Amino acid sequence: MSDDVPEPAPDAGTAADAPAGRETQSVQALERGLAVLQVFSHEHPALTLSDVARLTGITRATARRILLTLERLGMVRSDGRRFSLTPRVLALGWAYLSSLSLWEIAEPLMRDLVDRTGESCSAATLDLPEVAYVARVPTRRIMSITLGVGTRLPAHATSMGRVLLADLPPAQLDAFLASTPLEPHTPRTVVDPDRLRRVVGEVREQGWALVDQELELGLRSVAAPLRDADGRVIAALNVSAAASRVPADDLRSRFLPPLLETAEAISTAIARSARSGAGDRARTVEAR
């Protein structure tokens, strides 16, 4: 049924199904609203109504209703023809980051790592089939795209992605490899699922990942896991450098040791923060 054709009012025989129908429509509306937000990017900072409809695959009428709602909420602005995001949309992401407290915990340690290595440092979480950047301390621009909090990159072609893939349960990793097209971003990108499975297995064994110009020619990076109090991998930390400046052997010998030290320090701080928070909650309950 078209988005723009109203459904007939339920008769007595379908009245009991009305709540479920309304719930389905509400979930669908939320999905479409989030899809509209996600089509805006560094490459597409401003889009027309037709652009949004085409990129999301929804009708112009539905796209218009969503954009007007987002504009009313202050998350989108319009110049009369094109729509663009406003800073208020960051509140959605910051709510997630604040709940993790990852940036507050990691930022000073990441800055120290940048000072020690002279190279950029980032942290990301897994949102298959991509990784999403949740913290970054840059030194100089080394990629053709602008990296920052919220940037999403393919998990299979990044060092942080491989560290995060290595912690997946086998069935989930198999499902990812079976359903995700492994796009070749450079001639070096691993695109064979069986080979990537072996590479991820090696990462799991050694506890870190090095990717040499698989995401972008001229870029190398090395990553390590960040763990919570239970030892689960919740994010990955990396150091990235220009291939023309840092040989792969130097990435292993000079940058990997301080990266592993920093990842361990951040993981320890995350665990202590979690235990401290649990203790505070327990004392609050006792006080009641």
Residue 80 pLDDT greater than 80, yes or no:
yes
For 10-24, 61-75, 205-219, which range has the lowest pLDDT when averaged over its residues?
A: 10-24
Contacts of 140 (CB under 8 A, 6+ apart): 120
Angle in degrees, CA 25, 28, 30, rounded to 5: 110
Structure confidence by residue, pLDDT tens digits, 258-277: 999 999 999 998 888 766 65
Q: Which of 249, 241, 236, 183 is nearest to 213 (CA)?
A: 241
CA distances 154 to 133, 182, 184, Å, are: 11, 9, 10
Structure confidence by residue, pLDDT tens digits, 181-233: 999 999 999 999 999 999 999 999 999 999 999 999 999 999 999 998 888 89
For 39-43, 66-70, 72-76, 210-214, which range has the lowest pLDDT when averaged over its residues?
A: 39-43
Pairing of strands 209-212, 152-154: unpaired
pLDDT of residue 15: 40
Contact in structure between 163 and 234 (CB atoms under 8 Å): no
Angle in degrees, CA 9, 15, 18, rounded to 5: 75
pLDDT of residue 86: 82
Structure confidence by residue, pLDDT tens digits, 147-180: 778 889 999 999 999 999 999 999 999 999 999 9
pLDDT of residue 45: 85
Strands (E), the chain: 46-48, 76-78, 82-85, 120-127, 130-137, 152-154, 209-212, 219-227, 233-242
Amino acid at position 284, single letter: T
Distance CA(19)–CA(16), nearest Å, equals: 7
Q: Which residue has the higher pLDDT, 208 or 88?
A: 208
Residue 17 pLDDT greater than 60, yes or no:
no
CA distances 41 to 46, 193, 213, 282, Å, are: 8, 29, 24, 43
Q: What is the mean pLDDT of residues 38-51?
A: 88
Which pair of tokens denotes residue 207? 């506890």
Q: Quote the percentage of the chain above a pLDDT of 90.
A: 60
Distance CA(239)–CA(232), nearest Å, equals: 21
pLDDT of residue 3: 40
pLDDT of residue 26: 64
Distance CA(209)–CA(206), nearest Å, equals: 8
What domains appear along the chain, each with residue ranges and CATH number? 15-85 (1.10.10.10), 92-280 (3.30.450.40)
Give the 3-state secondary structure of 183-248: CCCCCCCCCCHHHHHHHHHHHHHHCCEEEECCCCCCEEEEEEEEECCCCCEEEEEEEEEECCCCCH
Contact in structure between 134 and 125 (CB atoms under 8 Å): yes
Q: How many CB atoms lie within 10 A of CB 165?
A: 28
Distance CA(131)–CA(123), nearest Å, equals: 9
CA distances 31 to 90, 144, 150, 152, 241, Å, are: 18, 31, 19, 19, 37
Distance CA(279)–CA(212), nearest Å, equals: 43
Q: Which of 143, 154, 147, 151 is nearest to 191 (CA)?
A: 154
**61 torsion bin: left (phi>0), alpha (psi -120 to 50), beta (else):** alpha
pLDDT of residue 115: 92
Q: What is the mean pLDDT of residues 4-29?
A: 50
Q: Quote the percentage of the chain above a pLDDT of 70.
A: 78
Residue 22 pLDDT greater than 50, yes or no:
yes
